[in-house]
Structure 1
Amino acid sequence: MMNRLTQSMDFQANALSLRAERQRLIASNIANADTPGYVARDMDFSQALREATGSLPVAGQMTATRSNHMQPLAGARGEAGLRYALASQTNLDGNSVDMDRERATFAENSVKYEATLRFINGSVKTMLDAMKSPSQG
């Protein structure tokens, strides 16, 4: 039972961390909307979450084949998981930021970040309520 609780919390913590990282990427795209030659970046969230939770090996990462091989740092993500956004229109300055797309993605990711945070808060509250004795209320 305890293992299931920690697995659920670890999953949600990974999701929250990845949502924050995605928000940072989107904010960077918006900040560079007028930078000539800037290419917008994003991540495949579901792929990144599978990699973070150990469901799939991380793309471009070596796997340990012997017990004495060095292991990657926990939660380490390189640039390998990031994608370049395709420009919806051709721009003379080579910038691929589409502000409408970025704003919509930013808003969607914000809502999902908040939902993940609420889920974690609800799970913690449920665990705390379950640990209370009947005489505590």
Structure 2
Amino acid sequence: MTAISFKNALGIHPDALRVRTERSEILANNIANSDTPGFKARDLDFKGILRGEYESRDRMELNRTNARHIPAEAVVTESSLKYRIPTQPAVDGNTVETDIEQAQYARNSLEFQSSFTFLNSKFKGLSKALRSE
């Protein structure tokens, strides 16, 4: 019997879920500060994170109480956050464009749901395979 490789079975989707969760917090923060003078909208370089362009970042590993636990660590760092360039800068220096932020938030939510649905179907398939169905 061969061991199941979760990395091979699940691909990039677990990492994508973590990054999408962090991105939703950043986009929500942008929206919440849309009326704050001088606030600069930020976003993640999602593709750069998934390509591993920020591998030299400091990592924060979570404690594992058993050697068989799957290791987990923080994915997002300050270097992966980029300032958004506004199409219509505000007079007060705020760079949040609410329509763009809301659209990005909605798109991020859909992409999160897509990865989640994919992972859910993979886990159902793996569960069936383990039960030999």
User: 1:90 Cα deviation (Å)?
Assistant: 2.3
Equivalent position amino acid for 1:44 in 2:
D
What residue ranges of structure 2 are gaps of 5+ in the alignment?
Answer: 62-72
Question: Who is 1:73 aligned against?
Answer: 60
Question: Who is 2:49 aligned against?
Answer: 48
Question: Who is 1:120 aligned against?
Answer: 119
Equivalent position amino acid for 1:36 in 2:
P
Q: Which has the larger radius of gyration?
A: 1
Question: Who is 1:23 aligned against?
Answer: 24
Q: Helix, strand or coil: the match of 1:102?
A: helix
What residue ranges of structure 1 are gaps of 5+ in the alignment?
Answer: 63-70
1:52-63 equivalent positions in 2, closer than 5 A: 56=53, 58=55, 61=56
> If each structure's helix is expressed as a fraction of its own residues, which one has the higher value?
1
Sequence identity (%): 34
Question: Who is 2:65 aligned against?
Answer: none
User: 1:50 Cα deviation (Å)?
Assistant: 1.9
TM-score (norm 2): 0.79
TM-score (norm 1): 0.77
CA distance, structure 1, for counterparts of residue 60 and residue 4 of structure 2: 22
Question: Who is 1:66 aligned against?
Answer: none
Contact kept, 8 Å, 2:54 with 2:80, in 1: the verdict is no
User: 1:4 Cα deviation (Å)?
Assistant: 4.2
Equivalent position amino acid for 1:79 in 2:
E
CA distance, structure 1, for counterparts of residue 80 and residue 98 of structure 2: 22
Q: How many residues align?
A: 120
Q: Helix, strand or coil: the match of 1:83?
A: strand
CA distance, structure 2, for counterparts of residue 111 and residue 96 of structure 1: 24
CA distance, structure 1, for counterparts of residue 117 and residue 19 of structure 2: 16
Q: CA RMSD, aligned part only?
A: 2.1
Contact kept, 8 Å, 2:40 with 2:95, in 1: the verdict is yes
CA gap of 1:32–1:8, structure 2 versus 1, over 3 A, is farther
User: 1:3 Cα deviation (Å)?
Assistant: 5.5
CA distance, structure 2, for counterparts of residue 5 and residue 128 of structure 1: 12
